């Protein structure tokens, strides 16, 4: 499962060889290291178009980090929100500064027509070459669905293409670019998302658009060290791979985890839950008794649940003409039907608590389709449809979102033929596979009690894979 090429090109000999042969030179991604690590360090440059609606909120969030905050012309309002002693300083982007920025943050919510788009060029043209390794570009805009005029909607939608294109240009530095679209009056709900996208937690998330919408509940104050304290989480498929990492990450963030897996994985599952002080539950989620059994276990053990992560999944690959019917049935049952039935049982018994979270694990195969995966792609696409529909129905501040992983280094991908595995690893802006923890971090962001407005989103954790959107 180890990416030997990534290791090789980061040796002096490997670097020279890759350069002379024109091969990709991925750089190691910085990931989250320790609980008290600030979400952002170094120098940050902030810009805004037409003053920016979100600038005050952004200023307050950035000032909670030890990063030195600078603002370009147009973002002077940032100074109003700055704490004394950590005042954002103006910086002229005249090519003179030798600063290497750890992040470039741009409030584009004030862009109302195509002429205003010029502000993107004016801010990023002089600054983008000064973005450091593993740097972050974060753009905040207005959700086009809430823009009243066509030019306003068009210019906000234009941010998506801009973000994705810039992500492709900076990927070789291990840097990422993402876009947050705000519904009207949701500027106060930015914090958990800004922290996620600017931190090493989003190392393998690039070219993504996340929407922040209105919520019926107020966002909780952010607890940066243990945001999930007091929460109970169910994680399916928790004995290994991505599920194991989700269990570890949610426990790291303070949750008590019920890890679920098939009976054959009991020993491995027990090791995981013992390590994190959780509880093990074994069953096949496709068993007709499973939803009632899971609901009963939750009721008896904790009286309710806060976070449900549907991670268990299988592939049964064959081209459609050669696919046996049980391959089809199993892929649909595990990857899609079981999630619906488990949620139905939990919701019917009112076991999912206020401000609860459901997170589904889809796949880029469910977005783009994949050769030999009609069954899996069908199920994972269905997961997206399920999330989008449920997001409109859930009450009590409960949200539902999905992650769509790309190539993640697990036993599932280790079993692929070498050529397909190497293609999967390199065909993305960061030229490497992701780690299970990258998926887990995105899930932890969805689960954060402060992420109340993040609902109905599908965020790809794929290093901006060339496959799919
Ligand atoms: P994995 O095979 O390593 O782990 C899946 C886990 O789910 C296993 O522990 C397995 O025992 C469990 N499981 C399977 N069927 C079950 C059932 N019927 N009942 C209960 N548990 C069951 O896979 P992974 O790579 O860690 O993938 C985790 C999720 O991420 C899956 O939904 C997968 O489709 C998705 N995904 C993975 C990748 C990748 O690159 N690894 C990419 C896209 C999506």
Which residues does 99 contact at the CB level (< 8 Å), separation at least 6?
Answer: 43, 45, 70, 91, 130
Whether residue 199 is found in the same domain as residue 252:
no
Ligand 1, atom 37: closest residue by C-alpha: 405
* CA 86 / ligand 1 centre spacing (Å): 45
pLDDT > 90 in the chain, percent: 77
Whether residue 174 is found in the same domain as residue 274:
no
> Which residue, of 177, 212, 247, is where some domain finishes?
212
Whether residue 202 is found in the same domain as residue 244:
no
Whether residue 122 is found in the same domain as residue 243:
no
What is the pLDDT confidence band of residue 17, given thresholds at 50, 70 and 90?
low
Whether residue 184 is found in the same domain as residue 285:
no
305 three-state secondary structure = strand
Pocket probe for ligand 1: among 242, 265, 416, the residue whose CB has the most ligand atoms within 8 Å is 242
In this structure, is residue 222 part of a structural domain? Answer: no
Domain that holds residue 47: 39-212
CATH number at residue 138: 3.40.50.720
What is the pLDDT confidence band of residue 85, given thresholds at 50, 70 and 90?
low
Residue 340 CA neighbour count, 13 Å, CB half: 16
Ligand 1, atom 6: closest residue by C-alpha: 237
Atom of ligand 1 nearest to the CA of 362: 44
Range of weakest confidence among 219-223, 301-305, 417-421, 424-428: 219-223
Ligand 1 pocket (Cβ < 6 Å) reads: 236-237, 239-243, 261-262, 265, 284-286, 311-314, 334, 361, 363, 405, 407-408, 410-413
Task: Report pTM.
Answer: 0.95
* CA 312 / ligand 1 centre spacing (Å): 4
- Name the maximum alpha-carbon separation found in the chain: 68
In this structure, is residue 238 part of a structural domain? Answer: yes
Atom of ligand 1 nearest to the CA of 244: 26
Residue 408 pairs in a beta bridge with 434
Predicted confidence (pLDDT) at residue 400 exceeds the cutoff of 60: yes
Give the per-residue pLDDT at 98.
73
Pocket probe for ligand 1: among 243, 313, 406, the residue whose CB has the most ligand atoms within 8 Å is 313
Atom of ligand 1 nearest to the CA of 287: 18
What is the pLDDT confidence band of residue 95, given thresholds at 50, 70 and 90?
low
Q: pLDDT digits over 283-329, tens only?
A: 999 999 999 999 999 999 999 999 999 999 999 999 999 999 999 99
Whether residue 178 is found in the same domain as residue 246:
no
Average model confidence (pLDDT) for the chain?
93
Q: What is the mean pLDDT of residues 50-63?
A: 89
Give the per-residue pLDDT at 270.
98
In this structure, is residue 110 part of a structural domain? Answer: yes
Whether residue 81 is found in the same domain as residue 165:
yes
In this structure, is residue 14 part of a structural domain? Answer: no
Q: What is the mean pLDDT of residues 229-250?
A: 98
Q: What is the mean pLDDT of residues 86-96?
A: 70
Q: What is the mean pLDDT of residues 238-244?
A: 97
Q: What is the mean pLDDT of residues 18-40?
A: 85
* Closest residue by Cα to residue 209 from 152, 161, 146, 153: 161
What is the pLDDT confidence band of residue 14, given thresholds at 50, 70 and 90?
confident
* Closest residue by Cα to residue 293 from 330, 260, 244: 260
Give the per-residue pLDDT at 24.
78
Q: What is the mean pLDDT of residues 393-422?
A: 91
Whether residue 403 is found in the same domain as residue 326:
yes
Q: What is the mean pLDDT of residues 228-248?
A: 97
* CA 211 / ligand 1 centre spacing (Å): 27
Whether residue 293 is found in the same domain as residue 375:
yes
Range of weakest confidence among 32-41, 143-152, 337-346: 32-41
Give the per-residue pLDDT at 158.
98
Give the per-residue pLDDT at 1.
57
Give the per-residue pLDDT at 84.
46
Which are the catalytic amino acids?
376
Counting the structural domains of the chain, the total is 2
User: Hey, how many other C-beta atoms are within 10 angstroms of the C-beta on 142?
Assistant: 24
| DSSP assignment of 115-173 | GGGHHHHHHHHHHGGGEEEEEEEEEEEE-GGG-SSHHHHHHHHHHHHHHHHHHHHHGGG
* CA 173 / ligand 1 centre spacing (Å): 30
Atom of ligand 1 nearest to the CA of 335: 32
* CA 183 / ligand 1 centre spacing (Å): 34
Token duo for residue 357 = 């979270």
In this structure, is residue 418 part of a structural domain? Answer: yes
Whether residue 305 is found in the same domain as residue 392:
yes
Strand order in the sheet with 208-212: 89-90, 68-71, 43-48, 101-107, 131-142, 176-182, 208-212
């Amino acid at each position: 499962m180890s990416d030997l090429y990534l290791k090789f090109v980061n040796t002096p000999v490997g670097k020279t060889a890759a350069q002379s042969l024109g091969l990709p030179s991925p750089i190691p991604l910085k990931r989250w290291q320790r609980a008290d690590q600030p979400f952002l360090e170094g120098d940050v440059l902030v810009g805004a178009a037409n003053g920016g609606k979100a600038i005050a909120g952004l200023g307050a969030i950035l000032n909670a980090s030890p990063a030195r905050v600078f603002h370009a012309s147009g973002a002077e309002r940032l100074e109003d929100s700055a704490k004394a002693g950590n005042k954002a300083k103006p910086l002229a982007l005249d090519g003179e500064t030798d600063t290497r920025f750890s992040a470039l943050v741009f409030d584009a919510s004030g862009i109302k027509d195509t002429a205003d788009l010029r502000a993107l060029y004016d801010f990023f043209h002089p600054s983008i070459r000064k973005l450091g390794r593993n740097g972050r570009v974060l753009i905040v805009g207005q959700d086009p669905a809430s823009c009243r005029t066509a030019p306003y909607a068009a210019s906000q939608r234009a941010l998506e293409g801009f973000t994705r294109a810039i992500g492709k240009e900076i990927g070789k530095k291990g840097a990422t670019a993402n876009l947050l679209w705000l519904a009207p009056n949701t500027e106060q709900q930015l914090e958990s998302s800004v922290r996620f996208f600017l931190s090493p937690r989003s190392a393998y998330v690039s070219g993504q658009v996340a929407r922040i919408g209105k919520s019926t509940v107020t966002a909780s104050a952010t607890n940066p060290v243990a945001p999930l304290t007091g929460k109970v989480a169910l994680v399916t498929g928790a004995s290994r791979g991505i599920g194991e990492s989700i269990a570890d990450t949610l426990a790291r963030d303070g949750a008590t985890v019920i890890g679920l897996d098939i009976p054959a994985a009991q020993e491995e599952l027990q090791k995981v839950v013992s390590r994190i002080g959780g509880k093990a539950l074994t069953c096949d989620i496709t068993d007709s008794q499973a939803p009632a059994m899971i609901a009963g276990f939750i009721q008896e053990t904790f009286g309710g649940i806060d976070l449900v992560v549907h991670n268990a999944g299988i592939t049964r690959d064959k081209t459609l003409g050669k696919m046996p019917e049980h391959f089809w049935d199993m892929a649909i049952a595990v990857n899609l039907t079981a999630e619906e039935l488990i949620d139905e049982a939990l919701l019917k018994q009112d076991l999912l608590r206020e401000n609860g979270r459901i997170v589904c694990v889809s796949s880029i195969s469910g977005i783009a389709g994949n050769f030999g995966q009609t069954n899996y792609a069908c199920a994972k696409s269905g997961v997206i449809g399920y999330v989008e529909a449920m997001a409109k129905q859930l009450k009590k501040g409960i949200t539902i979102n999905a992650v769509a992983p790309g190539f993640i280094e697990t036993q599932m991908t280790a079993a692929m033929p070498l050529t397909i595995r190497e293609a999967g690893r390199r065909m993305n802006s960061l030229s490497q596979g992701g780690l299970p923890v990258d998926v887990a971090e995105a899930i932890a962001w969805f689960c954060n009690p402060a992420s109340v407005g993040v609902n109905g989103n599908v965020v790809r954790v794929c290093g901006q894979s060339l496959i799919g959107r």
